[in-house]
Amino acid sequence: MSARFERVALIGIGLIGSSLARVIRRKELADHIAIATASSETLEHAHQLDLGDSYTTSNAEAVRGADLVIVAVPVGASGAVARDIAHDLSDGAIVTDVGSTKTSVIEQMRPYLPASVHFVPGHPIAGTEQSGPEAGFAELFEHRWCILTPLPGTDEAAVERLTHFWEACGSTVERMEHTHHDKVLAIVSHLPHIIAYNIVGTADDVETVTQSEVIKYSASGFRDFTRLAASDPTMWRDVCLHNSDAILEMLARFSEDLAALQKAIRWHDGDALFDLFSRTRAVRRSIIEAGQEVDAPDFGRHGRHPE
């Protein structure tokens, strides 16, 4: 089954959308790349970067004749996009997305999409803290996971074709039930970002420590939190609002574990502290062995595009 499409419509041209445009062009995965974004300024920037073959601020115009439509907008805008494109989608087109919350996206988009199209929600687990069309690069999806969350009754051939597309982009594809996806991502992605935002905010609020000292000594650990905390505010606002149940569940678990850690420190329970730090160190080693990180100084992030 071919991974190539005749016309791919990319709705949203930020980091993920622009990276898709670049890899689609490089791997020749489409005859035509149609780009749509609400901002005329961003659209012009994408045009200057030669990311597509046609450019428009009309989502409906972009999807006309497309056999693959990829919605790459903040998850809170998914429903509005589905409403925009509903009457202009071609019969048999595959419609997918790249959002990191799946239940909310399904609830937003599904009511508007006609039965004549194949809706296959997706989530490439790849990114950097950068945003905008200039932030993308064709290698973003290489050796990364892409999770598809097809609904019961979805056409298997459509799922397989989308799977081949993501594999051609460099990803390893796995299927998952959408509510399970949201719980998994709440702990491995959403909670770490929320904690990072909070830690950086706390450092900014501590009146007895100057901002210059925070910056000067950041390499002692704080710097790694700032990378996460520099991520796109609109995207992460929407993630928190649209995966709130799973995030609140994980925050409650984290708060309980944090209370236990506070108790261990207060009572000088060295055994409990050593056991925790040993267990978490083993998790880090497992991530490196799984190829999801490199065992190098500064995480090997001296290149142009940090992960």
Model confidence pLDDT, tens digit, residues 106-129: 999 999 999 999 999 999 998 777
**Main-chain dihedrals φ then ψ at residue 73, nearest 5 degrees:** -120, 165
Residue 113 is encoded by which pair of tokens?
């999409």
pTM equals 0.85
CATH of domain 5-176: 3.40.50.720
Q: What single DSSP character describes residue 93? A: -
Distance CA 143, CA 137 (A): 14
DSSP 178: H
Q: Tell me which residue has tokens 């491995």.
A: 188
Domains 5-176 and 180-293 share a fold: no
Q: List Cβ neighbours of 43 (8 Å cut-off, separation of 6 or more).
A: 13, 35, 36, 37, 55, 56, 57
109, HSE (Cβ side, Cα atoms, 13 Å): 31
pLDDT of residue 206: 83
Query: In this predicted structure, what is the pLDDT of residue 304?
Result: 39
Q: Where are the domains of the chain?
A: 5-176, 180-293
CA 132, 138, 140, 141 torsion-angle sign: positive
User: What pLDDT was estimated at residue 140?
Assistant: 94
Residue 167's CB is within 10 A of a number of other CB atoms, namely: 14
Among candidate residues 37, 84, 30, the one with its CA nearest the CA of residue 56: 37
Closest of 73, 64, 57 to residue 93, by C-alpha: 64
Is the separation of the CB atoms in 129 and 233 below 8 Å?
Answer: no
CATH 3.40.120.10 is held by the domain 180-293: no
Question: In tens digits, what is the pLDDT along the chain, a chain of 307 residues?
Answer: 678 999 999 999 999 999 999 999 999 999 999 999 999 999 999 999 999 999 999 999 999 999 999 999 999 999 999 999 999 999 999 999 999 999 999 999 999 999 999 999 999 998 777 788 988 899 999 999 999 999 999 999 999 999 999 999 999 999 999 999 999 999 988 898 899 889 888 888 887 888 888 888 887 778 888 888 888 888 889 989 999 999 999 999 999 999 999 999 999 999 999 999 998 888 878 777 776 665 555 544 444 343 3
